[in-house]
Chains A and B, each alone.
Chain A
Amino acid sequence: MKLLQLKNVTKQFGGLMAVDNVSFDVERGSIFGLIGPNGAGKTTIFNLITGIYKVTEGEILFEGIETNSMQPYRVAELGITRTFQNIRLFKKLTTYENILTACHYNVRYGLVDAVLRNKRFKAEEKGLLAHAEELMNIMGLEDRRDVIAGNLPYGLQRRLEIARALALRPKLLLLDEPAAGMNPDETARLMTLIKEIRDRFNLTVLVIEHHMDLIMGVCERIVVLNFGKKLAEGTAGEVQANPKVIEAYLGEEEVVVC
């Protein structure tokens, strides 16, 4: 079944077509890759899916529900959450507080319950604390529990951002260049982690990567973008063999060489 559908999605910034008539479907339970050179429009697609930007044309459906006009927090309530290319943690809060804050969504006690510290508050808060601890352990962050998030090493900050996203118990997790700044070794471990998370939490994962070879191993299906347009779609093998993709990437490599 299709979890997420993009239908002829276009996003225009002034004269710039950041996303140009892009369509693709994401199967429930899959790990789906979105790749392309810098400026191809990948992050913009994430911003459209999460409601941070509004689509210029076309529509986005999540479980058949149109999300175009929804506020970002409503999209999150539907079960879509994300990480950011330029990490956006709650920098002055600790690792634990970052995760705990995101757990809020699973309980409903109100302001008055909090002020009165009543039974409902105590019971639900206890559940939250347990959930946050559990996630921290699963993500291997327990020995950094009380470290201020802004002081964590880069790799752990990315990991914490994923942990925070998982706290929502999402159905669809969007990862924007989660391997940026990591060495090949760390990247390989991250890709294994993504698979584990998918299986453990029954997730669907949509992952952006800038380097093609890194995600070939994990993604069941890949869409290649270039200059806002969909260049190719298919399995890793199909995409790699596609002449248009080779051209786009070789073109980019030449720039690097010069």
Chain B
Amino acid sequence: MDWFYIKGILILSGINLMAVLGLSLLTGFTGLFSFGHAGFMAIGAYVTAMGTVKLGLPFAAALLLGAAGAALASFFIGRITLNLKGDYFCIATLGFGEAIRLILDNVQYFGGARGWPNLPRSTNFTIVVILNIIGIIILANLINSRHGRNFKAIREEELASQTIGINVFRYKMTALMISAAYAGVAGGLLGHYLGFLQPKMFQFIKSTELTITVIFGGLGSISGSVIGALVLTSLPELLRTFAIWRLVVYGAAVVFIMISRPQGLMGGYEIPVGKIFKKLFSRFAYGKKQAVGGGKQ
């Protein structure tokens, strides 16, 4: 295995992670299940491609446009479906995801079902890493605030959330739009990594994969989502030598986790990244002080 190959897997993991982070907010923290997030990825992918190819925008601006496009679409979907009870919302998102794919199949402007080739390959390892770090920081800051607590309250007990003054509809909408924006960025990155787009890249199975990843990592855990995305994207790749058996192993791994740890790998807990950094840093600083030979005692 050479570095080029590993880098490719890491980039794909990172792209999936971007979408999974958003979905983690919606499903893991707010308690809404979606089976249509591939649809938001598709919108992000095609809008971003439109930005770079047809409008000649720089990649960063096109990504933002893609995120905005996905968020806007989610706003309209949310207006119609967020008042529905949980299960119906889930089914509505499923329908939405498939509808987007079918529409793209038939829009010749974007290449239709045959796809859209020759996109600039602007996505690289550095961009993916930086965007994911930004994505994680934004999500973590959001979760550790009154807004994050409100998301969790809605997940735990919707009626009680209302009676303590939480505008449940608005918070659900916020979670949906943010998660769609993340998915949109992931889509934009994907198209500009592969160099082409095809509607069938965003099938129902893609949505399912994202939701499985969030559950696998543990609902309500950002670090769980990160580990989940890394493991579940790279696993099928690393198992490629097993040819047809790899997807069986993948499925078995998911089933095993779900049986042995129904709450997912991390299950609501976080790896205390901040604390670990602080510890490392204070040790480092301490060592330096010693080396300088003094400091305050």
Contact = CB atoms under 8 A, between A and B. Distances in A.
A77 B165 contact: yes
A52 B162 contact: yes
A102 B164 CA distance: 6
Nearest to B159: A88
Interface stretch (B13-21, B141-149, B183-191): B141-149
Contact of A73 (B145, B147, B168): B168
B160 interface: yes
Contact-residue bracket for chain A: 35 or more
B270 interface: no
Contacts of B163: 50, 52, 72-73, 76, 81-82, 165
Contacts of B168: 73
Interface in A53-105: 71-73, 76-77, 81-82, 84, 88-93, 97, 100-105
A73 B166 contact: yes
Contact of A109 (B146, B160, B162, B268): B146
Contacts of A81: 163-165
Interface stretch (B4-12, B107-115, B150-158): B150-158
Interface string B23-45: 00000000000000000000000
User: What secondary structure prevails in chain B residues at the interface with A?
Assistant: helix
Contacts of B174: 111
A32 interface: no
A102 B162 CA distance: 10
Interface string A98-136: 001111110101010011110001000100100000000
B160 A84 contact: yes
B138 interface: yes
A115 B142 contact: yes
Contact of A88 (B142, B148, B160): B160
Contacts, number: 91
Given A52-B162, A104-B149, A115 B157 contact: no
A72 B153 CA distance: 15
A90 B145 contact: no
Contacts of A125: 145-146
A223 interface: no
A105 B153 CA distance: 13
Contacts of A89: 156-157, 160
Given A104-B166, A167-B164, A128 B152 contact: no
Interface residues of B, number: 24
A90 B95 CA distance: 31
Nearest to B141: A115
B167 interface: yes
Interface in B233-250: none
Nearest to A150: B156
B153 A92 contact: no
Contact of A76 (B149, B152, B164): B164
Interface in B259-294: 268
Given A71-B162, A93-B152, A88 B146 contact: no
A89 B152 CA distance: 12
A208 interface: no
A20 to B, nearest CB: 25
11 contacts: A71-B167, A73-B168, A76-B163, A77-B165, A81-B164, A84-B159, A100-B149, A114-B148, A115-B138, A121-B145, A164-B164
